[in-house]
Chains A and B, each alone.
Chain A
Amino acid sequence: MRTRPPVQSPDTLVEPRLGPLPNGPAAAAVLAAGIGCFALGLLTVLSTAFPPLANVLQFYPPTGPLTGVSTLAVVVWLIAWLVYHRLWRHKQVRFTTVLVVTLVLIILGVIGTFPPFYNLF
């Protein structure tokens, strides 16, 4: 089996770098997607719980509050991506931790979009 020895990072708490690019940019993209999913679920719950907010989120009235919910979720996703990319673009981060946090955010986001859940509020 052909394997490459890892390049040891001076910080032994993070994963070793295996190639020319650090894993920071990938981690930023992954985590930002999780944050965007969470924002989608949160905004869905909030727009149901607060009817005045739902009215404000009717960016396109024929569709209703979904346009505001989805647009703001996308904006949150893009901002999170920009922020984390700038923070991590030259860094090697704990990718497993990023994946776990992202999965938790995605699951919470899915729960937030589930009608029996958001109708509780």
Chain B
Amino acid sequence: MGGICLLLTTGEALADLHGFILGAFFLLAYSGGLASLFALRIEWEKPTGVAMLIRQIKIGTVLMAVIIWLTVITGTYIVYPLYRAQYQQVLSITAWNTFAMAWKMHLAWIAPMLATAVAYVVIRYRSQLAGEARIRQTLEVLFTAAFAAAGVAGILGAFVTKVLPVH
């Protein structure tokens, strides 16, 4: 009886890095980032509280921007070519590719541009954000739009991986 290999192939490991590690981290970090942005108000926080929140938000938004850039780059230049090569016979005839993968791979690129804008404004304005309601609300909207784009891309990617897994 043959042995069972429990190790991942290179393609599976790269796909997991892209989706389960990088992509999932970005999505999970969103709620903490949004809560911190929402709490950043001079009418709610003392100066020391604002400074503490700003430090958290700076680290969080920069990390999230870096992570989402890595996610889309690994997806576009590493995982997608493997997927495209393995399933070239069926790409044009399955909706998992013509709709799900096609939308996911384009939509995802919206997230890093929005996330970078958020991180830049946080770094540039620091504690002034606590008094700038309009800018803060705009960041919350962009942050949420980035999360939505990455979330839809992630869900579609999870489904495609089930049907057309990369090996």
Measured CB to CB, the residues of A under 8 A from B are: 1-4, 15, 18-21, 23, 25-26, 29-30, 32-33, 36-37, 40-41, 44, 60, 62-64, 66-67, 69-70, 73-74, 77, 95-96, 98-99, 102-103, 106, 109-110, 113-116
B125–A26 touching, CB < 8 Å: yes
Measured CB to CB, the residues of B under 8 A from A are: 42-43, 72, 76-77, 80-81, 84-85, 98-99, 102-103, 105-107, 109-110, 113-114, 116-117, 120-121, 124-125, 128, 131-132, 134-135, 137-138, 141-142, 145, 149
Can you add 17 more A-B contacts, CB < 8 Å, to A60-B81, A106-B145, A113-B110?
A: A3-B43, A4-B42, A19-B125, A19-B128, A26-B125, A33-B114, A60-B77, A62-B81, A63-B80, A66-B80, A70-B72, A70-B76, A70-B106, A73-B113, A77-B113, A99-B134, A115-B99
Interface majority SS (helix, strand, loop, mixed), chain B: helix
Q: How many Å from the CB of B163 to the closest CB on chain A?
A: 16
Residue of B with least CB distance to A64: B84
A95–B138 touching, CB < 8 Å: yes
The number of residue pairs between A and B whose CB atoms lie closer than 8 Å in the complex comes to: 109
A4-B131, A66-B76 known; A37-B124 Cβ under 8 A: no
Contact among B103, B113, B117, B121 for A114, CB-based, below 8 A: B103
Q: How many Å from the CB of A3 to the closest CB on chain B?
A: 7
Docked Cα-Cα span, A103 to B138, in Å, equals 10
A40–B43 touching, CB < 8 Å: no
B84–A19 touching, CB < 8 Å: no
**7 closest Cβ pairs, A-B complex:** A62-B81, A113-B106, A19-B128, A33-B117, A36-B113, A29-B117, A115-B102
Please name all residues of chain B whose beta carbon is closer than 8 Å to the beta carbon of A113 when the two chains form the complex. 103, 106-107, 110
Residue of B with least CB distance to A33: B117
